[in-house]
Structure formats: C-alpha cells, structure tokens
Structure 1
C-alpha cells in the first residue's frame, strides 16, 4: 500500500531475529528507507538490509551501544544524514529481557536493564525530536513496550518497571513534542514467537496458546504492522496512545 512512501525511518535493535527484524521489513515493504540499528548482531542486520535491497528497497546498517547516551545521539544523527538530512520515523525497539528474581537482584542488575530499556528511549527520542521539529510534517516516534508494563511476570521486575516507564515516557513526550508535529506512541506486544521459543519455554508457550483468545502466538510482522500504522498518515491524530498487540490476552479475567 506504500503507506510510508518517501519516509526515512530508524529501527533500533533491528538486527535480531525477532520483533526488530519484523518492523524493519514491514517499514521497507511500505516504502520507507530504513536505517537498521544493531549493537552486536551485525550479521542479522546485514541480512535484513540485504533482504530489503533484494526487494528493491533502501536500507543501511548502523551499529551502536544504546546504553550510552552519546551513542544514541550518534546513531540518530547518522540515520538522518544517511536519509538526506531528514528522519520521519523512529522505532525504539532495542531492549533486554533477562529473568532474575527480585530478592537476589543487585542495583547493578537493575541498572543494566533500566539503562538499556529506558535511557535509550529517552536519548534517541530527544535526538530524533531535534531533527523532526524542523520538518514540515514533524515525525513519528514509537516505543516498543510490553503488556508486562501492566501485567508483571515473576523474574521480570526490572523489565516490567522499565516498560512501564517507557509507556509513561511516550505519553509525556506526546504532550511536550506535539506542538512541533511529533507524535509519540507505544506498542505493547504479548508473547511473540521466535526461533527456538517453543523448545526453550514449552510450558509457557502451551499456557499462552491455551489462554489467548485468538489462539496463537504473535508474529514479528504483527508488531511491524502496528508500527507501520502509527508511523503513517492513517494515525495522524493518534499520539500518547499505548497500542496493545497481544491477541486479546489482556482482555482475559485474572480471577
């Protein structure tokens, strides 16, 4: 449908085999030129860029450690320079999700998750907004949050807290950047399938499939579709919103 024709987009954490890859490929399929960020997964990022190029699109790999504020700003700046001085869409997807009991967690453990999942969102958004506010039509920023921002899971206290912070950051940024034509939203996925998930966590996958109203795990392209919508003109009056993409799981009663 070419919903993003002519746009320049940056997808952080786009080199992995999961959600980031799905978002980058969907953006390219809808006509955007895509800067695909990675921290260590160079091979995966190059594969995404190659797939986009083979389909007639335009993409580039940008590497950086987004736990570092200066690196966040550099990656955003380089994406805009590659895009000819503009940046229309930013998807803050990069993040970590370790499993660790709260009782044994150290402050360093906590910071390792929060600094990656929240600081990167703050710094990348701030850097992108400096560019977008100079553009005629502003821009769109989408953070990848999680249904765990509202429904915590055992061993995920630091992750759940970080994603709750991401949701509130988007609402605050929507309020302050809105006058410049910049829309900021979150997408909160449920359990999204990836290679090896069923083998790594068979009991969790089984429970999810039994409980989710639509009867399946999410796919990376499901999250990509939501991000495409929020970056497109179809969502031109949508800002400060958390779009839950979980197959209806959040609608289930907990009692």
Structure 2
C-alpha cells in the first residue's frame, strides 16, 4: 500500500460520505466537517427536514456538494434506498458515519419493554442495518470506512440509562465484530465514544451536571460537536489507514479522572 502524502491525510476530495442523523447537533457538525474536507455528503434525517435542507444549502453556498434524504433507519428497505441514493448521487459510498440515535431517561424498575426496544432500535438496529447495506457497496469497491458513534456510557453506565448504556455497549461490540469480518474487503470499522457534549440550553437543563463535569474532567469543559466530528474525520481518513476495530474515546479525559 502506498503511503499517502502529508497533505492527503485529511483530504476527502471526490469521496462520498453518508452521515445519519445529520440534521443538527453532532451529526450536522460531522457532515459539515467532511464537506469542508472536500467530501460529497448525503445528509440523512428522520424528521428535521428544514434543518437538513438548511445545512445542505450552507454547504453548497461554500462550494461543496450535499444532498438530503429522509429515512427510517430501522426499516431495511428504507436503509437500502438511502445507500442507493448515495451511489446514484455520487457514484459510491466511501464513508458511512452512523450517528443517528436517541437518549431518553428511564429508571430501570419503571422502564417498559417498549422503551427498551425503542432504544435498541434507534441506536443499535440502525447502526447494524446501515453498516450492512453500506458495506455491501463498499465490498464491490474494495475499500471503505465506517464510523459508529457510541458513548462512554458503553463502559461507564449513567443512571436511568440502562437501555442506552446497553445499546451503546452493543454498538462497540458491533464495531469490533464488523471490523473483524469486513477487513478482508478493505473496509475499516471504528467507533467514537463521546463524553458530555454541549448543546443549546444544556447549562439551564442540567446545571449541576455541567458544573460537576467541568470540575472533574481533566480538560475542564464540555465537548463541542466539532470535537466529535474531527475524531470521525481522522478515523475515516488515510491518517488512520491501519486502524480498525478501535473505539476512540473523546471525552476531555473524564474516563481518566481519579475516582478518589
């Protein structure tokens, strides 16, 4: 394998990237970052059509290429259509970022089976179906990169999130399992596990949590969506060409903080 030049390490010019759950927040930051790196981006959304269209317009105004598509990611037929759209629009799927998911609270003893199932559907089933569908296209091309958005909750469970903690732990193992099987086709599969990431209003909604996080985290701040986006960019890039099956923790050092 030829070693890429330094200026090619984060260059996605001409590549096709699918980002799920990309209408806002972390997903939007990921889509924007790849577009800035030259990629042609398919922005998936479930309900945020206005936000997705606004993001695509912003990318195009800056000289990039972007399109949007709604899909229900727990529906295998919808997922196949989403991936086919990327191939139709851009000729291939070079990168898939599985960002779509949900994050509701539910106490363990009060949680319904429907709540449990919905969490796995939105976080785990979607990642499996999208990865499988994209990998079939990538296999034909002989290369590709998949990045799954997991969470530090996969290894450090938060209270009233047993369904979320379990789903994200499964996403990490899905990442490692897929990497094991897909490497023979030149497909790399990795995960990013973010810590607490800032969003509008979080200081008002969770003031004690924000204060506690900032005091305990070695880097003393919440993450920003771009922190997660840049990790995805790295893992999908030639700079990480010999990295597969890895779960990259992006958390400001909170998992390294002393428990004493």
TM-score by length of 2: 0.95
Within 5 A, what are the aligned runs for 1:1-255? 3-16=11-24, 18-84=25-91, 86-136=92-142, 138-255=143-260
CA distance in 2, matches of 1:241, 1:87: 21
Cα-to-partner distance string for 1:132-177 (whole Å, 9 max, x where unaligned): 01114x1000000000000011111000100000000000000000
CA distance in 1, matches of 2:155, 2:258: 14
CA distance in 2, matches of 1:132, 1:117: 22
CA distance in 2, matches of 1:170, 1:80: 23
Maintained 8 Å contact 1:9/1:33: yes
Question: Please, which runs of 5 or more residues in structure 1 have no aligned partner?
Answer: none
CA distance in 2, matches of 1:208, 1:47: 32
Question: Please, which runs of 5 or more residues in structure 2 have no aligned partner?
Answer: 1-6
Q: Secondary structure at the match of 2:147?
A: strand
Maintained 8 Å contact 2:72/2:79: yes
Q: Secondary structure at the match of 2:190?
A: strand
Maintained 8 Å contact 2:175/2:245: yes
CA distance in 1, matches of 2:26, 2:169: 19
Q: Secondary structure at the match of 1:133?
A: helix
Maintained 8 Å contact 1:4/1:231: no
Alpha-carbon deviation of 1:254? 2.5
Alpha-carbon deviation of 1:72? 1.8
Q: Secondary structure at the match of 2:171?
A: helix
Maintained 8 Å contact 1:62/1:79: no
Q: Secondary structure at the match of 1:134?
A: helix
CA distance in 1, matches of 2:27, 2:97: 9
Cα-to-partner distance string for 1:108-127 (whole Å, 9 max, x where unaligned): 11000001111111110000
Maintained 8 Å contact 2:74/2:129: no
CA distance in 1, matches of 2:11, 2:161: 36
Cα-to-partner distance string for 1:86-120 (whole Å, 9 max, x where unaligned): 11000000000000101011111100000111111
